[in-house]
Amino acid sequence: MPKITIDGKEIEFKQGQTIIQAAEDNGIEIPHFCYHPKLSISGNCRICLVEVERMPKLVIACATIASEGMVVHTNSEKTIAARNAVMEFILINHPLDCPICDEAGECKLQDYAYQHSIGESRFVEEKVHKDKRVQLGPHVMFDGERCISCSRCIRFCDEVAKDSELTFVKRGDKVTITTFPGEQLDNPYSLNVVDICPVGALTNSDFRFKARVWDMSRTNSICYGCSRGCNIEIWVRNNEILRLTPRHNEEVNSYWMCDHGRLNTFKFVNASDRIDSPQLRVDGSLQTVNWDEAFSFVSNKLKQFSKNEIAVIGSPYATCEDNYLVSKFAKTVLGTNNVDFIRHLDPSFADDILRTEEISPNSRGAELVGVTPTKNGLALSEIIKAIKEGKIKAIYLVEDDLLSYDPSLEESLEKLDLFVIHTTNFNASCKFANVVFPAATYAEKNGTFVNIQGRVQRIRPAVATTELDRSLDGMSLSRLDKFGTEFDRWAQGKKYDAKSTWKILTNLSAYFGQKYKYQTSEDVFIDITKNISEFNGLDYESIGLLGKELSLEKVKI
């Protein structure tokens, strides 16, 4: 491979890379605002100026192609002087509103002002005033005074979202960003411009002024909105999720996520209709009971039915670990082969960027771990038909809503002898349930999902329940282990008495005399790797932050 020398260090680079890309690949930081690895080069911020030997002038690292033998200085006297001048120029008209800016704490301009600026300004004239609090679209607000005209947002809409909605208008120090006449910034990926804005010019209307970044914990997880499985970070304060942001994974979602996943897949976690404890129907209404009472009631009732009178419905919203126990419980404890799950499809939701027509995160995983009917068992359509005919007398439904899927079932569900539900929030089916178990949400447990590409990925607890599985590296468990009181600060706020579905079924199985030895979700996953060939050789550590591709020969995509 060709070699380049940066700050006295000889490094290899790939043919065609720019100086900034070669430096980045080798852990050398060159400051930049307008450059983004997934956008075209604009070269208009000039903060990445570097000195290259035998070149008459400083060059911008983002647009200068690296070549064999090139010698680059990123901290020479000329480079530092130019960088200071660029920072002074950018800050001339920038408002001093860091104390009220949502970007404070994760602002490149703030960081670079400390790292690459002289720390004072010679500008004493009136700053240029521009429009503030401009609603560019339903989700994005613009502050013209903070904008440094890097054009990242414009290029994102043109090149990634494929919807040209933003442009520069005016010239000189009056330049600003606006939407084209008659347009709004309302493409399905609009909030990504907030992530890539290096300053606080573009803000998320939903998150605006809710919390400082240093007041929140940040947890690596997976988006719940469709089968793409975008890698995300969950941001929590006082045990409440305040925002989701994309996490870079080039094999899945690159740097992006859609607005639907960002805005509509976390608010149910702290919603007013969350189920806070087991519910048992007494005299026609659901009453709060303890876990033992609910387990005892369900086990005694289920023992009264033959295996052909029971159907178990798993969930594409539950983890692989949860669904593995659903299958195991149904087929070995209850002895029924009537096991399936609801496929949630919406072709209108899909696009050619990230969104898929499968609007649940783990259909592939549910199939792989056995939530499918075996010999002589009924598939979902047959289960529904048998419910209507009165042949199925007991339904065990996990983390889904039968009635929303098929509203014609209402009369049949009312006639069931037993209807047990695991759910996070009250739904339409709960109206007819005899027992409702409070299930932990994807943000409250450890586990795995398998996305549309056949990639197994991890979720981790970002929000505490009354019984948090602390055995693995959830939210910031490495921090929790180091700073004992950190957990108390993190877990302040409302905590629900909810359990992972695998744990509920493990406890319930004991009432049938079947004692599983699972203590953590990883114990369940280890059992999966031993019994499901597609998962052989995997563990939570090897899945890591970016996931692992399962054998494509085995996984039907």
Percent of the chain with pLDDT over 90: 90
* pLDDT for res 491: 55
* Statement: residue 472 has pLDDT above 80: no
* pLDDT for res 79: 96
Tell me how crowded residue 278 is: count the other CB atoms within 10 A of its CB: 25
* Statement: residue 486 has pLDDT above 70: no
Is the full-model pTM beyond 0.85? yes
Q: What is the C-alpha to C-alpha distance for residues 433 and 417, in angstroms, rounded to an integer?
A: 10
Q: What is the C-alpha to C-alpha distance for residues 156 and 353, in angstroms, rounded to an integer?
A: 13
Q: What is the C-alpha to C-alpha distance for residues 400 and 467, in angstroms, rounded to an integer?
A: 22
Per-residue pLDDT reduced to its tens digit, 321-359: 999 999 999 999 999 999 999 999 999 999 999 999 999
Per-residue pLDDT reduced to its tens digit, 488-500: 445 578 889 999 9
* pLDDT for res 115: 86
* Statement: residue 283 has pLDDT above 80: yes
Chain CA centroid to CA 17, Å: 31
The residue that leads in pLDDT, 92 or 479, is 92
Q: Considering the chain, what is the average pLDDT of its residues? A: 93
Looking at residue 200, its amino acid is G
Looking at residue 503, its amino acid is K
Q: What is the C-alpha to C-alpha distance for residues 43 and 37, in angstroms, rounded to an integer?
A: 13
> CB of 64 within 8 A of CB of 56?
no
- Radius of gyration of the CA atoms of the chain, in A: 27
Taking Cα atoms as reference points, which of 475, 466, 468, 474 lies closest to residue 496?
466
* pLDDT for res 552: 55
Which residue segments constitute the domains of the chain, with CATH numbers given? Answer: 3-91 (3.10.20.740), 95-209 (3.30.70.20), 279-549 (3.40.50.740)
Please spell the DSSP secondary structure of 396-447, one letter per residue. EEESS-HHHH-GGGHHHHHT-SEEEEEESB--GGGGG-SEEEEBPPGGGS-E
Per-residue pLDDT reduced to its tens digit, 159-190: 999 999 999 999 999 999 999 999 999 999 99
* Statement: residue 280 has pLDDT above 60: yes
Residues 6+ apart with CB under 8 A from 352: none
Taking Cα atoms as reference points, which of 345, 341, 297 lies closest to residue 318?
341
For residue 193, what is the enclosing H or E element?
helix 192-196
Helix axes 320-328, 501-510, angle to 10 degrees: 30
